Amino acid sequence: MSIIGTVIVGLIVGLIARAIKPGDDSMGWIMTILLGIVGSFVASYLGAAFGFYRPGQTAGWIASVVGAIIVLFIYDLVRGKTKS
């Protein structure tokens, strides 16, 4: 059940991040879910590194969306360089 919950949260966070960030982000459902999950991990890691969270504590919804937006910007930079 934990994996299903992670996928659902990843989908919601990924959709919110794609809606907030301007630009055309054409990606499928799987990439959106992965974007949300990776964004949550990034937010948890950065929050622990800056002292906002204890080690092992998960990030909240807002931090997860911010992390997903950061990952989306990096994804766009990498994707833009490979298209040229």
The full set of domain ranges for the chain reads 2-83
Question: What's the Cα-to-Cα distance from 8 to each of 19, 28, 35, 56, rounded to whole Å?
Answer: 17, 15, 12, 21
Banded model confidence at residue 82, pLDDT cuts 50, 70, 90: low
When computed from its CA atoms, the radius of gyration of the chain, rounded to whole angstroms, is 13
Least confident of 16-20, 22-26, 40-44, 63-67: 22-26
- Check residue 30 and give left, alpha or beta (phi > 0: left; psi -120 to 50: alpha): alpha
pLDDT reported for residue 52? 86
Q: Which residues contact 17 (CB under 8 A, 6 or more apart)?
A: 35, 36, 39, 65, 68, 69, 71, 72
pLDDT reported for residue 83? 55
pLDDT reported for residue 81? 64
Which residue has better confidence, 5 or 42?
A: 42
